[in-house]
Chain A
Amino acid sequence: MPGRSIVALIGPNGCGKSTLLRLVAGLLRPAGGQIEIDGVPVTGPDPKIGFVFQEPRLLPWRDAAGNIAYPMELSGWGRERRDQQVRDLLGLVGLSEFAGARPHELSGGMRQRVAIARALALGPSVLLLDEPFSALDALTRERFNAELLRLWERTETTILLVTHSISEAILLADRVVVLSPRPGRVVADLPVEIDRAVRESDIDMLALGTTAAVIRAHLAGATDDPTPAELSAELRRRQRQRPVRIEELGEPAWFDPFAPEEPQ
């Protein structure tokens, strides 16, 4: 994974996306093999890595500033350096006015922004995000995607993002890695060759639709359902004629989070 890029991991539940992220973060030890960052193997949690969890995981007894300062305190930063960094980060995530607010006084989106600022506290070179926006409503989520890109442009980080959302993956990532469940393996590694500015302005719906359809086709292969190859071929053929609407593509069965898991 090259520096300064954004890679999205996408796949159904149980294919080990979150586990992979925790291996990279050094929170879990691999049973075999090795993970390297800049040629150095990961042996445990590292200040070069910032982790944003699915939930904000803020300390309820600390205000926003205190939560952002937490990793710096643990790393023994001096007070002045800490205060300066907290101010910068609060500004970066647009929460300068809420420095003294406790988590319960903040909205869900604000809390996740504090969590992102906290992950950036030690100036990491790699930012790991584990479905960071899945708890947010759709509108907030869209805004967060844009904000994350803005953050990424302003900081020197490589981002590895786990997501369930194809559109989120296309919007953000340079590369989309599709994983299959039990045993988890990489089914596809697709570059997103659309200019970011174009993706954000949603102009080229056709190109976006095509990329989405390709990812979907791979995801379909990632399930155990015998999806006919003709279906994805048909999808691609229709793609060439006009943008395919999401309803027409349909949802893979496992995409419904409330559906019971099918036995192997």
Chain B
Amino acid sequence: MSATPGRARGSIPSTGVRPRGGATLGGTAGRRRLDRWRRPIDVALAAGVFLVAWKLIVVVGGYPVFILPAPEVVAARFVSAWADGTMEPHAAQTLLEVVLGFSVGASLALVAGYVLARSRLAERVLSPYLVAAQATPILALAPLIALWFGSGLLSKVVICALIVFFPVAVATMVGLRSVDRRLLEMAHAYRATRWQLLVTLELPAALPGIMGGMRVGVTLAVVGAIIGEWAGGDRGLGVLINLARGSLFDIPLLFATLLTIALMGIALYVLVVLVERRLVGGRG
């Protein structure tokens, strides 16, 4: 997983009091300001190279639009699909599935991670099933889930929750287990109860790990929603892909849908990272 650049430097301004020593601090602050200007330029340059390469492949290879449309064709279709209302209901449906499925899956995974971290017995007994469920391709399970839960919203939420569950549960378990024993002894010396220990020490200490699991989970949730829609459904970006490839035979629309899915994944990922920085930021 790629860490966002500048995260370790703590680019979110800290509200805390900083130790004295203005000269060096001023230096780093100056460099940080420079970074903030340079970073979008780097990103734009990389995107530019990607688009030019794409365009070159289309031109040099001479591919027809139904195999590989040129970037500007996809961009135009992306804009028109959003403008004429083709994309919006599908995107909204998929987003709803992802958000619901992620919330349900991550919540259950937090509880399960806690139980697994607390009880070696639970870990021994349950982890084979957890791993087996994770190792079985969700693509193979999706038709079965559609059969059981119908082709509506519920089956997609179930698939998303299922795919999110494993990374978050494992991250929670590992995070809770690796809390510094010395801090636990310290809290014990101040007579922390089981519950106080969890809320004031174990959860905050495990949070960076848990958020790492959530980063993986949220991108997987998008995959889950698309797969769920493929297995059955009448709305969603997965359905739109099928339509664009099949009855509509509108390959630029297919690419525009892929672009929407990718953007949705990036947006959700960034959202999780922002929440993470908000919660974990400033620990040094």
The answer to whether A and B come from one shared complex is: yes
**Which of A's residues lie within 8 Å of B, judged by CB?**
25, 27, 44-47, 49, 51, 53, 55, 57, 59-61, 63, 70-71, 73-75, 97-107, 122
Task: Determine if B182 and A53 form an interchain contact, defined as CB atoms under 8 angstroms apart.
Answer: yes
User: Once the chains bind, are B204 and A59 in contact (CB under 8 Å)?
Assistant: yes
The CA-CA distance from A45 to B185 in the complex, in Å, is 10
**Chain A neighbourhood of B185, CB < 8 A:** 27, 53, 57
Question: With the chains together, A46 CA to B191 CA distance in Å?
Answer: 7
**CB-CB under 8 A for A102 and B186, given A73-B200, A97-B17:** no
Asked if residues B188 and A45 are in contact (CB atoms below 8 Å), the reply is yes
* 13 A–B pairs (Cβ distance < 8 Å), ordered by A: A27-B189, A46-B191, A49-B189, A51-B189, A57-B185, A74-B196, A100-B15, A101-B16, A102-B16, A102-B282, A102-B283, A104-B283, A107-B19
B190 contacts A by Cβ under 8 Å:
yes
B187 closest partner in A (C-beta): A74
Q: Given that A61-B283, A74-B191 are known contacts, is A53 also in contact with B16, CB under 8 Å in the complex?
A: no
Residues of B with C-beta under 8 A to A53:
182, 185-186
Contact digits for B191-209, partner A, Cβ 8 Å, 1 yes 0 no? 1110010001100100000
Distance from A17 Cβ to chain B, minimum over Cβ atoms (Å): 16
- B residues 108-164 near A (Cβ < 8 Å) are none
Is B183 interfacial (CB 8 A cutoff)? yes
**A101: contacting residue among B19, B187, B192, CB under 8 A:** B19
CB-nearest residue of chain A to B196: A74
Nearest CB of A to B189, in Å: 5
> For A27, what are the chain B residues with a Cβ–Cβ distance below 8 Å?
185, 188-189
B190 touches A70 (CB 8 A): yes
**Does the CB pair A101–B18 fall under 8 Å?**
yes
Q: How far is the CA of A128 from the CA of B190 in the complex (A)?
A: 13
Interface residue B284 (Cβ < 8 Å from any Cβ of A): yes
A70 CA / B282 CA spacing, docked (Å): 19
Contact partners of A74 in chain B: CB under 8 A:
187, 190-193, 196, 200
Assuming the contacts A59-B183, A71-B190, asked whether A104 and B284 have C-beta atoms less than 8 A apart, the reply is yes
Known pairs A45-B189, A57-B182 / 5 extra A-B pairs, C-beta < 8 Å? A74-B192, A75-B191, A101-B16, A102-B282, A105-B16
Is there an interface contact between B16 and A100, defined as CB atoms closer than 8 Å?
yes
Ordered nearest first, which 6 A-B pairs have the shortest CB separation? A104-B284, A71-B190, A100-B17, A57-B186, A60-B283, A51-B189
Neighbouring A residues of B283 by C-beta, 8 Å:
60-61, 102, 104
The answer to whether A101 and B17 have CB atoms under 8 Å apart is yes
| Identity of the chain B residue whose Cβ is nearest the Cβ of A102 in the assembled complex | B16
Given the complex, which residues of A lie within 8 Å of B182, measured CB to CB? 53, 55, 57
How many of chain B's residues touch chain A, expressed as a range?
A: 20 to 34
B183:A57 contact, CB within 8 angstroms:
yes
A73: which B residues are within 8 A, CB to CB?
200
- Give Cα distance in the complex from A102 to B201, angstroms: 16
Residues of B contacting A105 in the complex (Cβ-Cβ under 8 angstroms): 16-19, 284
- Contacts A57-B186, A59-B183, A105-B284; A45 near B191 (Cβ below 8 A): yes
* Chain A residues near B15 (CB-CB < 8 A): 100
A101 to B15, CA, bound (A): 9
Question: Complex: how many Å from CA A51 to CA B189?
Answer: 7
- 0 or 1 for each of B37-77: is its CB under 8 Å from A? (1 = yes): 00000000000000000000000000000000000000000
Tell me how far the C-beta of B208 lies from the nearest C-beta in chain A, rounded to whole angstroms.
10
Complex CA–CA separation, A122 to B183 (angstroms): 18
Residues of A within 8 A of B284 (CB): 60, 102-105
Chain A contacts for B193, CB-based, 8 A: 74
A211 to chain B, nearest CB (A): 32
When C-beta atoms are compared, the residue in chain B nearest to A25 turns out to be B189
Contact residues in A for B190 (Cβ distance below 8 Å): 45, 70-71, 74-75, 122
In the bound complex, residues from chain A placing their C-beta under 8 Å from that of B17 are 63, 97-101, 105
On chain B, the residues within 8 Å of A51 by CB distance are: 186, 189
User: Do residues A61 and B204 form an inter-chain contact, with CB atoms below 8 A?
Assistant: yes
Smallest CB–CB gap between A163 and chain B, Å?
19
CA distance A25 to B282 in the complex (A): 33
A46 CA / B19 CA spacing, docked (Å): 34
For the complex, give the distance between the alpha carbons of A98 and B15 in Å.
13
Q: Who on chain B is nearest to A55 by CB?
A: B182
A74 CB to nearest B CB, Å:
5
- Nearest-Cβ distance from residue B165 to partner chain A, whole angstroms: 27
How long is the Cα–Cα vector from A104 to B16 in the complex, in angstroms? 11
Interchain CA distance A261-B83 in the complex, whole Å: 78
**A73, B196: Cα distance in complex, Å:** 9
Residues of A within 8 A of B191 (CB): 44-47, 74-75
Nearest residue (CB) in A for B182 is A57
Nearest-neighbour CB distance to chain B for A128, whole angstroms, equals 9
Determine how close the nearest CB of chain B comes to the CB of A16; give it in whole angstroms: 17
User: B1-32: which residues lie under 8 A (CB-CB) from chain A?
Assistant: 14-19
Min Cβ gap B100→A in Å is 30
Residues from chain A with Cβ under 8 Å of B189 in the complex: 25, 27, 45, 49, 51
